[in-house]
Amino acid sequence: MSKRVYSIISKVMDIPISEINDESSPETIESWDSFNSYVLLDELETEFKTEFSIDEVVETKNVADIKKYLKKHGIELND
Partner 1 sequence: MSNNEKLSYFLNKAKKLGSNNFNNKIRVAVLSSFTINGLEESLRVKLYEKKVDCTTYVGGYNQFNQEILDSSSKLYKFSPDITFLILDTRSILGKLFYQPYSVSSSERKKIFDEKFEDLKNLIHSFTNQTQSKLIVTNFNIPSYSPYGIFETKVVDGFHNSIKKLNENLTNEFLKNDSVYIFDFNSFVNQYGEKNIFDTKQFLFGDIKISLDYISNLADEFTGYVFAVLGLTKRCIVLDLDNTLWGGIVGEDGYDGIKLGADPQGNSFIEFQKYLLSLNQRGILLAINSKNNPDDALDVITNHPDMILRKEHFACMKINWNDKVSNMIDIAKELNFGLDYLVYFDDDPVNRDFMRSSLPDVFTVELSNDPSQYTTIIKNMKEFNSLKITDEDAKRGQMYAQQKNRQEFERSVTNLDEFLKNLKLKVIIKDADKFSIPRISQLTLKTNQFNLTTKRYQEEDIKNFVEDKNIEIGYAQVEDKFGDNGITSVFILNKRNPKEWHLDTFLLSCRIMGRQIEKCIMQHIISKAKDNGVTTIKANYLPTKKNKPIEDFLPDCGFQKNEDGWIIDVNNKFKSPDFIEVIDE
Q: Give me the least distance between CB of 28 and partner 1, in Å please.
A: 19
**Whole-number Å distance between alpha carbons of 8 and 5:** 5
Whether the Cβ atoms of residue 50 and residue 70 lie closer than 8 Å to each other: yes
Mark 20-49 with x for binding to partner 1 (rule: CB under 8 A) and - for no binding.
Answer: --------------xxx-xxx-xx--x---
Amino acid, single-letter form, for residue 39: V
Nearer to partner 1, 13 or 78 (CB): 13
Count of positions on this chain that bind partner 1 (CB under 8 A): 15
Convert 9-34 to b/e letters by CB count within 10 Å (16 or more is b).
bbebbebeeeebebebebeebeebee
Return the residue of 21, 57, 72, 79 that touches partner 1, per CB under 8 A.
57
Give residues in contact with partner 1 (CB under 8 A).
11-12, 14, 34-36, 38-40, 42-43, 46, 52, 54, 57
